[in-house]
Amino acid sequence: MMSVTGFVANGASNFEFMDELIINPFELAGWLLCVAVLIWAIISITSLLRSRQLLNQQYLQGSLLLEEKFNLMRERRKRVMDQSVAWEGFANFVVVRKVLHGDSGICSFYLKPKDERLELAPFQPGQHLVFQLPIAGAAAPLTRRYSLSDRPGQDYYRVSIKLQLPPRDAPDAPPGVGSSYFHNELDEESASSYKSLIQVSSPAGAFSDDPLDSKPVVLIGGGVGITPMLSMLNSIIEENESREAWLFYTIRANDENVLFDEDMLHPRIAEVMRTRSNIHLHIHYTQIKEPGSLPNDLPFPIDQHCGRLTVDQFKTILPSNNYRFFICGPERMMVQLSDDLVSWGVPEEDVLYEHFAAPTKRKTANDSAEKGTIRFAKSNKEIEISADDGSILDAAERAEVPVSYDCRAGSCGQCMVAVVSGKVSYSMRTNYKCPPGSCLTCSCLPDGDVVLDC
């Protein structure tokens, strides 16, 4: 049997051991808090990773859905374009509305088919209409081309035409025949059904933009050259809210400004300028020299500049040169800007400009790589290029070789012929791109001897 003394001794030892096992409650609370924080951190990081993964998946799915939406819209538009019945030749249209834009000299003409059964052919923003005008005393109708100035999808076509007055250095010269006919001879159908009639072809032209494209664009309009840019910008605003677009409008003074006139810009332009950071508008006034003289009564904030528009200004305004540039305006402006843009590093295929007549300055035979002869295979004629021939088309006309043509400016493709042998060199950049083995006779010269299939 254990003695009382031994029992007491053993009991004291056990109590000391139990004291060692008992943990301070504050230490226990601290450990529990650390464990809770660790568990919370693990749960939070796991939740954050899952949320990020979910957001990435949602972003990817959204991008795919957006791309799929654009692809479907492109297919639908292509199907409509392919299936639409564009009338052959010229059809009777009437002027249903005529709007004069202040002191700008520009008037907008709203056109609808005379025959209500004729549907409007769809068009790409930037394209133009060809008109036949019955000028008094002329042996044949006069042909003129004018850009469509509103977005597709309306129940009318609209062209905005400036009355071409005599040049300042030749005040006795006659005004523009085509623009004078539109301004002075045409009237609204409600006022005169006879004077409202006009002959119109289907929309045409390679100077155009697909608003559903993702590449950002810079639209440059000088004076009345703003018209195709309005069609492009309004279409982008309507159809592609994510696309970046810059509009640069150059005019002499504010009395020529048509941007803020009725229906010229998209109806939601003020809202778009407030809510979308990817649409930018700039106006350059060439006759305003001091910033204090810039207009201050604009309907919404817009960037305004003194002096001419130059590529050096693009370098300070644009984030980069990675844009597709469309230019329409006076020839000198278009040539200068396009050359400077290419020098800046913009690829030539991303610089497009619109001519409605053959450029006045272009290469002649003496500028070509090598003078040569042209043999027209079908016509069985051969001639040497002349210093007076600005193009193969000029030479063909001199040799009385039939070659169809329309714009003479490299935009329509009507003068394209096959190159049987030899090479050609282009005297200007063209909007219409020929397939290999062909050439635009209005825009090129022979580089040595060449044989053409015409």
Structure confidence by residue, pLDDT tens digits, 103-152: 999 999 999 999 988 999 999 999 999 999 998 888 888 889 999 999 99
Structure confidence by residue, pLDDT tens digits, 10-19: 554 554 545 5
Query: Residues 239, 305: one domain?
Result: yes
Mark which of 329, 353, 377 sits at the end of a domain.
353
For the whole prediction, is pTM greater than 0.95? no
**Structural element, H or E, at residue 270:** helix 269-275
Radius of gyration of the chain (CA): 35
Cα(293)–Cα(290) distance, integer angstroms:
6
Segments forming the whole domain that contains residue 117:
91-200
Q: Is residue 280 part of a domain?
A: yes
Query: Residues 390, 348: one domain?
Result: no
Mark which of 353, 381, 416 sits at the end of a domain.
353
Confidence at residue 74, expressed as pLDDT on a 0 to 100 scale: 62
Query: Residues 137, 240: one domain?
Result: no
The count of domains in the chain is: 3
CATH number for the domain that contains residue 438: 3.10.20.30
Query: Residues 239, 338: one domain?
Result: yes
Judged by phi (left if over 0) then psi (alpha if -120 to 50, else beta), residue 307 lies in left
* Percent of the chain with pLDDT strictly greater than 90: 53
Identify residue 299 by its one-letter amino acid code: P
Query: Residues 380, 338: one domain?
Result: no
Q: Is residue 359 part of a domain?
A: no
Mark which of 320, 353, 386 sits at the end of a domain.
353
Q: Is residue 316 part of a domain?
A: yes
Q: Using pLDDT thresholds of 50, 70 and 90, give the confidence band for residue 368.
A: very low
Query: Residues 184, 287: one domain?
Result: no
Q: Is residue 25 part of a domain?
A: no
Structure confidence by residue, pLDDT tens digits, 207-231: 999 999 999 999 999 999 999 999 9
Q: Is residue 5 part of a domain?
A: no
Least confident residue range of 10-19, 216-225, 301-310, 436-445: 10-19
Query: Residues 405, 340: one domain?
Result: no
Cα(426)–Cα(120) distance, integer angstroms:
35
Query: What would the mean pLDDT of 89-103 be, rounded to a whole number?
Result: 94
Query: Residues 253, 169: one domain?
Result: no
Query: Residues 227, 343: one domain?
Result: yes
Q: Give CA separation, 251 vs 62, 161, 206, 226, 424, in Å.
A: 41, 15, 25, 10, 38
In 307-404, which ranges are E strands? Answer: 324-328, 351-353, 373-376, 381-384
Pick from 138, 145, 140: which is nearest to 201 by CA?
145
Q: Is residue 269 part of a domain?
A: yes
Q: Is residue 82 part of a domain?
A: no
In 286-354, which ranges are E strands? Answer: 303-306, 324-328, 351-353
Q: Identify the residue whose tokens are 């249903």.
A: 96
CATH number for the domain that contains residue 111: 2.40.30.10
Cα(202)–Cα(200) distance, integer angstroms:
7
Confidence at residue 86, expressed as pLDDT on a 0 to 100 scale: 64
Q: Is residue 254 part of a domain?
A: yes
Pick from 97, 108, 121: which is nearest to 196 by CA?
97
Confidence at residue 386, expressed as pLDDT on a 0 to 100 scale: 80
Q: Using pLDDT thresholds of 50, 70 and 90, give the confidence band for residue 340.
A: very high
Query: Residues 253, 329: one domain?
Result: yes
Around Cβ 329, how many Cβ atoms within 10 Å? 22
Query: Residues 289, 177: one domain?
Result: no
Cα(204)–Cα(129) distance, integer angstroms:
6
Question: Mean pLDDT, the chain, as a whole number?
Answer: 85
Query: Residues 235, 335: one domain?
Result: yes
